[in-house]
Amino acid sequence: MIEYVTTHGVPFLSHWDIHGATRENTDNGRCWLEVNAALALTLYRDPARQLAVATATLEPPGAELTPVNDSGLSGTLRVTHAHAALGVIDIFYAADDDLLARQAGIAQFLEDGAFAGREGFSEPCLRAKRVIDALLSARLGPGVILDELGPLCEPAACYALQFMYDYLSARADDAAAQLSLRWRNAAREALVRVRVKAGDLEIKPFEPRLLRA
């Protein structure tokens, strides 16, 4: 299964389970990281690695992230054979505010601030990210680092809303099922419009391909 956090440059870190990630404490869903010689991990919300949001001491088999600078970002991760390195992790493409901006009233589906057992709407958002990661891997190959994640927000938010209403629907003809279908179609339409950059390459990875016999 594709992990919902995509890791670049630090293969000895995996199985991230991050809580409290927002656009305010990340770079549009991305964190830049540094592991120093003492195996201390720091996550930053900027590519210059100046604005720290969480730290951890890397001791196999796992580590716990502690928020810094009142970021509210925490979590756990798996560690194997750590060493000094720089890397990037992509945590989300769409977050709670992106869903709330597109569908009024969904806050009523939160129970004690959680949906489907996870904080906020992080469960459908991480499912949406897995879908888009699988599509990106099929079109661009594994390991590609996009210059920015913003262009993936719209389709990810639409997929997340589809998954949210899938979870709420009881029958194929109820209102939730109809809204799920609406957001699935919106996600597919949004994918076609996505234009991303990876270095000098600017592409539309989800543009339909015409195959001729």
Beta strand 30-35 pairing with 40-44: antiparallel
* pLDDT value, residue 22: 95
H or E stretch including 188?
helix 175-193
d(C-alpha 178, C-alpha 182), whole Å: 6
List Cβ neighbours of 184 (8 Å cut-off, separation of 6 or more): 158, 159, 162
d(C-alpha 197, C-alpha 192), whole Å: 15
pTM above 0.85, yes or no: yes
* pLDDT value, residue 172: 85
Region for 56 from its dihedrals, namely left if φ exceeds 0, alpha if ψ lies in -120 to 50, beta otherwise: beta
* pLDDT value, residue 42: 98
* pLDDT value, residue 210: 58
* pLDDT value, residue 199: 87
* pLDDT value, residue 213: 52
* pLDDT value, residue 211: 52
Q: Which residues of the chain have pLDDT under 50?
A: 1
Helices 122-140 and 153-168: crossing angle, nearest 10°?
A: 130
